[in-house]
């Protein structure tokens, strides 16, 4: 009886060792076949990585737009001295690109925010306050541009209310929508430029 138990344990140990050996060999075979697949996958992904890096965003450099740079903008809405007050803002767009050393740093059509800085019956002064570039707003300090009833009479078309003989608007200054204004930077502004 003693021999049969020892015999049984010995056979059991051999059987377990055999199964472990077969399982170990089987796993090694799986690793060998997986390794070429991994190499092929890595090779297939390598060109994709190269193509992604070629489409990567261009580096951004900081550029300073110097004081005195000319900025032209078109007013997006009509402003009037009897309706607008100092501090009111208005929408505008750049009519020409802003360039530094021959390179466009703020493109034509960029959204600009203007601000009314002074209003009197016969005069209204406006300035540019900020612009939006790549989804971010940047503050501007420009000179103020004055529009007066006197300038308005010289610059307005013949079919205006004043030219038609109506005198109820003679003391009101208006800055019509689509009016083009020219400003100069009063303080340099530093902005990021791609490329």
Structure tokens at 112: 């600009």
The pLDDT assigned to 166 comes to 43
Domain residue spans of the chain: 1-56, 60-194
The pLDDT assigned to 77 comes to 95
Bridge partners, 99 (sequence order):
104
The pLDDT assigned to 131 comes to 95
41 or 191, greater pLDDT: 191
Q: What is the mean pLDDT of residues 155-183?
A: 66
- Quick one: CA torsion of 84, 85, 90, 96, rounded to 10 degrees? 100
Phi, then psi, of 150 in degrees rounded to 5: -65, -50
CATH class, domain 60-194, is mainly beta
- Quick one: CA torsion of 28, 30, 33, 34, rounded to 10 degrees? -110
Structure tokens at 30: 């799986």
CA 7 to chain centre: 81
As a whole number of angstroms, the distance between CA 82 and CA 79 comes to 9
The pLDDT assigned to 109 comes to 96
Give pLDDT tens digits for 25-59.
Answer: 655 555 545 455 555 554 555 455 444 445 566 68
Phi, then psi, of 14 in degrees rounded to 5: -65, -40
Q: What is the mean pLDDT of the chain?
A: 78
| Per-residue confidence band for 187, with pLDDT thresholds at 50, 70 and 90 | very high
Nearest to 173 by CA among 149, 193, 195: 149
Q: What is the mean pLDDT of residues 125-146?
A: 93
| Per-residue confidence band for 160, with pLDDT thresholds at 50, 70 and 90 | very low
Q: What is the mean pLDDT of residues 60-84?
A: 93
* CB-CB contact of 90 with 113 (8 Å): yes
pTM of the model: 0.61
Give pLDDT tens digits for 121-135.
Answer: 788 999 999 999 989
């Amino acid at each position: 009886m003693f021999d049969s138990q020892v015999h049984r344990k010995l056979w059991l140990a051999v059987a377990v060792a055999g199964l472990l050996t077969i399982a170990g060999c089987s796993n090694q075979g799986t690793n060998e076949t997986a390794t070429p697949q991994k190499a092929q996958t890595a090779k297939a992904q390598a060109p994709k990585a190269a193509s992604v890096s070629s489409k990567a965003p261009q580096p951004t450099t900081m550029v300073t737009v110097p004081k005195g740079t000319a900025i032209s903008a078109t007013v997006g809405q009509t402003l009037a001295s009897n309706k607008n007050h100092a501090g009111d803002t208005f929408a505008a767009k750049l009519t020409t690109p802003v360039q530094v050393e021959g390179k466009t740093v703020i493109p034509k059509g960029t959204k600009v925010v203007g601000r009314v800085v002074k209003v009197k019956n016969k005069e209204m002064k406006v300035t540019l306050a900020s612009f939006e570039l790549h989804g971010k707003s940047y503050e501007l300090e420009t000179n103020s541009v004055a529009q007066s009833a006197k300038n308005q009479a010289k610059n307005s078309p013949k079919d205006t209310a004043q030219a038609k003989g109506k005198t109820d608007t003679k003391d009101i200054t208006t800055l019509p929508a689509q009016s083009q204004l020219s400003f100069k930077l009063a303080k340099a502004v530093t902005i990021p430029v791609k490329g």
